[in-house]
Amino acid sequence: MPRFFFHLHNSVSVHDDVGMELPTVQAAKVEATEACRAIMADDVQSDGKITLSHHIEIESDDGKTKLVLPFRACVEILP
């Protein structure tokens, strides 16, 4: 099973050296989406702000970027 790494780019960049074994890039996107939402929830709880330009970069075990998931793609903003 392939391993995917989730590099967080927000006010600081956090490089994932451990990764997670998942069957597909789509499964990795689901994991990253859940992480984005959890981070945004923490940000709202702590300082009442969300920065939609922050993102998670998903990298495969061969070092190639498979997907860049901006936080704005993880939520639906309603009027």
Walking along the chain (79 residues) 10 residues at a time, the average pLDDT comes out as 96 94 98 96 93 95 97 93
Structure tokens at 37: 């939402």
Cα angle vertex 62, ends 60, 67, to 5°?
30
